[in-house]
Amino acid sequence: MAWKKVNEEMSAILEEALAPYDCEKRKMFGCPAYFINNNMFAGVHQDTILLRLSEQDRAEIQALYDEVVPFEPFEGRPMREYVGLPEPLVSDSGLFAPWVKRSYEWAATLPPKEKKKKKPKKA
């Protein structure tokens, strides 16, 4: 299955929502992803904004919004702790901002990950 390019509008929405937070933006598989202590907590994949949330927050957001689903970059391969958000939730900053904050705060509680060493380039 071919991947679609990242939705630039979704990317801009997430970047704006994360502007107040001390986090690092990187690319993962050509998609914008945001990290704190080397733990990814938010990103954009194709047309979907994904957030990493605690178990309690995932249950709450899925109870509030039927369209929120476990995030699966590949069908049948969900990413643990991540949800994909529907466009109506993302486009309303009053609804979206509190979930971004929860995601950031959850990731901040996780133990820092060591950066992986880059593999030497083959000659």
Based on the structure, what is the number of domains in the chain? 1
Q: Kindly state the average pLDDT of the residues 42-57.
A: 93
Host domain of residue 69: 8-109
Residue 3 belongs to some domain of the structure? no
CATH number of the domain within which 85 lies: 3.30.1460.30
Contacts of 106 (CB under 8 A, 6+ apart): 41, 52, 53, 54, 57
CA distances from 103 to 39, 107, 119, 120, 122 (A): 11, 6, 30, 34, 38
Q: What pLDDT is recorded for position 105?
A: 97
Angle between helices 8-18 and 93-109 (to 10 degrees): 60
Residue 115 belongs to some domain of the structure? no
Residue 83 belongs to some domain of the structure? yes
Q: What are 73-114's pLDDT values in tens digits?
A: 677 777 889 999 988 899 999 999 999 999 999 999 998 888
Residue 43 belongs to some domain of the structure? yes
Q: Kindly state the average pLDDT of the residues 20-35.
A: 91
Residue 114 belongs to some domain of the structure? no
What is the pTM assigned to this prediction?
Answer: 0.86
Q: Kindly state the average pLDDT of the residues 3-7.
A: 76
Residue 26 belongs to some domain of the structure? yes
Residue 117 belongs to some domain of the structure? no
Q: What pLDDT is recorded for position 79?
A: 80
Q: What pLDDT is recorded for position 96?
A: 94
